[in-house]
Amino acid sequence: MSTVAGSGGAADQADQVAPTEAVAPPRAAAADADLDRVADLLRGREVAVLTGAGVSTDSGIPDYRGQGAPKRSPMSFQQFLAGESYRQRYWAGSHLGWRRFDAARPNDGHRALAALEEAGVVNGVVTQNVDGLHLRAGSRHVVDLHGTVDRVRCLQCGQIFARASISERIDAANPWLEQPDQVVINPDGDAEVVNSDDFVVPDCTVCGGILKPEVVFFGEFVPSEKFSEASALVRRADALMIVGSSLAVNSGIRLLEVARRRKVPIVIVNRGETKGDTKATVKLDAGTTETLTGLAARLVP
């Protein structure tokens, strides 16, 4: 494996040099060389892409594990089922977080992946994100490995609801609910709230059952059909690119192993270390948006 540094203090050092035509910022030159190298590795191959929370940070959705991310313990599926007070806390926070998700828009990194798919370079995107931004950016083959926050399912009868309709019901039943001054919005659409004791939890209008967003909670398994779809995409590809994921979740490591066993090139783009760095052909320590747009500029005719 080779490690390519795409961040650090080089740009700060360059700022101390008086700009002339003969002096280029060292970081920019290195980044271009790194992008050229990755583009050469992927050119002519069909590439499967796995994305994590780092892809959506430039859309205003914070990363769980990135630099500066607050330490937190998301609610587990077992807790969610354990009692009404847990569901009050979850839904109150999730409703506030949904506002952020609903307002988020795809960034240039999302659009670059859509362009790479349109050009036939990318065969599809497997995402650990639940924000739906890849589809909104124009990607057509998207496997939502951990679900999608814009749908809600009844755990009793299986009825599916649009999240927007549930949000309207929450607003009507909880007119007192306002976003507190200090709210931490998290990548699963959850948020920390001051008091949820009076929160009215929506129930299923068909059977009265418990409603849950169509996302994989901590303590839940990725649905087997979703993982099968994701692994099939990786098996059909000639290379795997992992973007914006620390690979702390087991499903991501399992997909990396599918590619490693097939002996295809593996490119990892992430700020900071990941659990797959030692197995990568190239690790690019860089931001996702600028890297994806740079690769699209080199690989899209």
What is the mean pLDDT, run by run of 10 residues, along the chain of 301 residues? Answer: 39 25 33 93 97 94 57 79 92 82 92 98 96 96 94 97 95 75 51 73 97 90 94 97 94 96 97 95 94 96 89
What residue type is assigned to position 145 of the chain? L
Nearest to 213 by CA among 128, 131, 151, 171: 151
Phi/psi for 4 (5° steps) reads -115, 120
Question: Please, what's the largest Cα pairwise distance for the chain?
Answer: 72
> Shortest CA distance to 45 belongs to which of 120, 106, 114?
120
128: its two tokens: 């650990």
Owner of token pair 């490995």:
145
Please say whether the structural domain 2-62+108-147+222-299 has been given the CATH code 3.10.400.10: no
Strands 122-127, 282-285: parallel, antiparallel or unpaired by DSSP?
A: unpaired
* CA separation for the pair 279, 108 (Å, rounded): 28
Say what the pLDDT of residue 177 is. 72
pLDDT at position 162 is 96
Residue 165 pLDDT? 96
At the second CATH level, the architecture of 77-104+149-215 is 2-Layer Sandwich (3.30)
The pairing of beta strand 160-162 with beta strand 211-215 = unpaired
* Side-chain half-sphere CA neighbours of 48 within 13 A: 25
Total Cβ atoms within 10 A of residue 198: 10
- What is the pTM for the complete model shown? 0.82
Q: Active-site residues: which are they?
A: 146
Q: What one-character DSSP code corresponds to residue 216?
A: P
How crowded is the C-beta side of 71, counted as CA atoms within 13 Å? 0
Length reported for the chain: 301
Q: Do residues 51 and 132 make contact, with C-beta atoms less than 8 angstroms apart?
A: no
Instruction: Please name the residues in contact with 111: beta carbons below 8 A apart, sequence gap of 6 or more.
Output: 137, 138
Pairing mode of beta strands 160-162, 282-285: unpaired
Enumerate the domain spans of the chain: 2-62+108-147+222-299, 77-104+149-215
Q: Which amino acid is at 151?
A: R
- Residue 45's SS3 state is coil
